[in-house]
Homo-oligomer: A and B are copies of this chain.
Amino acid sequence: MSTPRRPPLPRIDERITMKYGAGGRAMRALIEGLFAQGFPATPGPDDVTLSALDDGAAVRVGDRWLVVTTDSHVVKPWVFPGGDIARLAVCGTVNDLAVMGATDPVGLTCAVVIEEGFARTDLEALHASLRAACEEAGTTVLTGDTKVMGRGELDGIVFNTCGIGWASRPVTDRGLRPGDVLMVSGTIGDHGMAIMAVRHKLALEGDLRSDVAPVNGLVRRALEAGGTAISAMKDPTRGGVAAVLHEMAQKSGVGVLIRESSLPVRPAVRAAAELVGLDPLVVANEGKVVLGVRPEAADAVLAALRAHPLGRDATTIGTATDDRIGSVVMDTGFGRRLVAEPEGELLPRIC
């Protein structure tokens, strides 16, 4: 793989602050500068392991890849318009597998840490939601773990899910070439703004719903239509589409040029984002995919996405370029501006 061109990362502060969990540069500094240091890669030369900092790992087994991914979920509140922490856990993990090319999960693990005093009825509701989300994604929970922390030692409940699945080839976030078409599978910013609205009791709250959904069926359609012409995929969670485009640009060694007018944003999301001074481009999504596609397959992939219920609003948003390597540039219609990589302090506990 080509050496990615990446800007220098900030030093890690003496004390961990909220920005280190928020999906931006600070978190990347913590992971690249500390957590990913010193672990040997698995033997396969084509394996995707910790140092790749992708959505998960992919280890070659015979003529296919075993894909593994993990996420802890700490979303606050743990029930929100459009979903809850259990649905989020299933979808987050299924989606990480899918964007690595594993659209039919073998199954998930589910580990919960519960605060003492949590209501049984709430656990029952979360369990029902977990089951429903698994069914929707065509998967199951294989094994689990239960821990309890004392009252005041944990704010509510934390879910951790791991997923395993098989991919005929791992799709990374570093495969873009200049000329590749960039697409997003639907409207952006829905999840983050729904959480934000609930947490800050915004008046627009009623119109905002999380998009949390398993996209493995959608990605399956895209891969059937595009095959190896799909050069990069990532689900735009923490840090939003902006963070994903930065990852792809830096790791692939290309520039990214997007058109502001092409970004699909619901009116309620746009209004709420303006109210709190946020750009929907940096706001988390939980049922969307960003894809890079070779130009010759772009029409077929876009049509496949749009034919799926979760991809009706799919659209092209830009292209990979051979200038401004590692940068994301926005064409506003009036001119061009650099899109900053999110730093990460904006929306704690969004997922």
Contacts and interface: CB of A to CB of B under 8 A. Distances in A.
Interface of A: 12-22, 27, 30-31, 34-42, 49-50, 54, 56-57, 59, 66, 68-74, 106-107, 109-121, 123-124, 127, 131, 134, 140-150, 152-155, 158, 160, 162, 164, 348-349
Contacts of A124: 34
B109 A68 contact: yes
A110 to B, nearest CB: 7
A127 B34 contact: yes
A154 to B, nearest CB: 6
A37 B140 CA distance: 11
Contacts of A15: 116-120
A129 B260 CA distance: 46
B72 A123 contact: no
Contact of A20 (B36, B72, B114, B152): B114
B116 A42 contact: no
Given A42-B107, A68-B107, A140-B40, A148 B17 contact: yes
Given A146-B30, A146-B31, A113 B49 contact: no
Given A106-B42, A119-B15, A131-B38, A21 B147 contact: yes
Nearest to A153: B155
Contacts of A50: 140-144
Contacts of A106: 42, 59, 66
B49 A143 contact: yes
A50 B144 CA distance: 7
A38 to B, nearest CB: 5
Given A74-B149, A143-B68, A155-B149, A35 B117 contact: no
Contact of A143 (B17, B69, B107): B69
B155 A111 contact: no
B57 A143 contact: yes
Given A59-B142, A160-B160, 19 more contacts: A15-B120, A16-B114, A17-B117, A18-B148, A22-B148, A31-B144, A35-B110, A35-B127, A37-B127, A39-B140, A42-B140, A42-B142, A50-B144, A54-B143, A66-B106, A69-B143, A70-B160, A149-B348, A153-B155
A344 to B, nearest CB: 10
Q: Which 8 A-B pairs have the closest CB atoms?
A: A21-B148, A57-B142, A70-B109, A153-B155, A162-B162, A160-B160, A57-B143, A72-B111
Contacts of A39: 131, 134, 140-141
Given A142-B50, A349-B149, A123 B16 contact: yes
A192 to B, nearest CB: 15
B154 A71 contact: no
A155 B150 CA distance: 9
A112 B113 CA distance: 12
A116 to B, nearest CB: 6
A114 B67 CA distance: 26
Contacts of A164: 66, 68, 164
Contacts of A42: 106-107, 140, 142
Contacts of A16: 114-120, 123, 148
Greatest chain B CB density within 10 A among A144, A152, A349 is at: A144
